[in-house]
Amino acid sequence: MLSTDESAAAPPAPESESDTAEPQKRNSGRTGPTSAIGRAIAARNATRHGMCSKTLILDNESEEDWLELLAAWKNDYGQPAETTLLYTFVVKTAQSEWFRLRAQREYDLFFALQQGRPMFSWQLEQRKDHDLAMRYKTAAERSFQREYRLLEQHYKNHCKPDESETDETEADDKGPPLVFVNNETGEIMDCAGNLYPPPPGYVSTPIIPGKYGPKHPPNWKPPEKKKKSKRK
């Protein structure tokens, strides 16, 4: 008969093949979907409102609305080519506005579900939901403003035509500026000294030296002088 010390020092019995195969058998078949479509569907299992989701188009959104929004942004910036850096800025700005509109819809939906009840009558859970929706909306608006500023800065520095060149071209098309008009004859003189005939239907207004009309309107009265009070 073995003593207590000898029995405690004895090595444990090796695990059988059936014991090691049991956990593997339990874990088999739980690896999740393997295809790209299946993983995309499984990624939306925990989606409640989509405010934290980076998915461009959710189940309750339309791809046509997204393409229409993107086309409007590309049209405003001259339909940039997909290989240009401007196109990247335009797409990022359009995506940020798409997420901003999503947050605004969720915020409006929350108020619609309250059925016009004033805020002071809300329960604690309703106030928490309102604050959460407000934070999501504010974050989306800030993200859109940031992307829009970057787009405008890039467009102004690298893509927008120089306004000075445009003004010079328009000035050349219109000719030299007109600087003098003779009221008696109607002749027009430009800065180069060239005379032009009066426009059709011009009515001359002769100038009579020394006669300029009344100095003030007939109903005008001079302001009254304030009398100084004498201190005794």
Question: How do the domains of the chain map onto residue ranges?
Answer: 59-160, 174-201
Which residues, other chains included, contact 35 with Cβ-Cβ below 8 Å and sequence gap of 6+?
none
Which residues, other chains included, contact 193 with Cβ-Cβ below 8 Å and sequence gap of 6+?
none
Report the distance separating Cα 82 and Cα 187, nearest Å.
56
pLDDT of residue 46: 47
* Tokens at 102, concatenated: 């999503």
Q: Is the four-CA dihedral 194, 199, 200, 205 of positive or negative sign? A: negative
Tens digit of each residue's pLDDT (9 = 90 or more) over 128-144: 988 998 999 999 999 99
Tens digit of each residue's pLDDT (9 = 90 or more) over 197-215: 777 777 666 655 544 444 5
pLDDT of residue 212: 47
The model's confidence at residue 182, banded by pLDDT at 50, 70 and 90, is: low
Tens digit of each residue's pLDDT (9 = 90 or more) over 75-113: 999 999 999 999 999 999 999 999 999 999 988 888 888
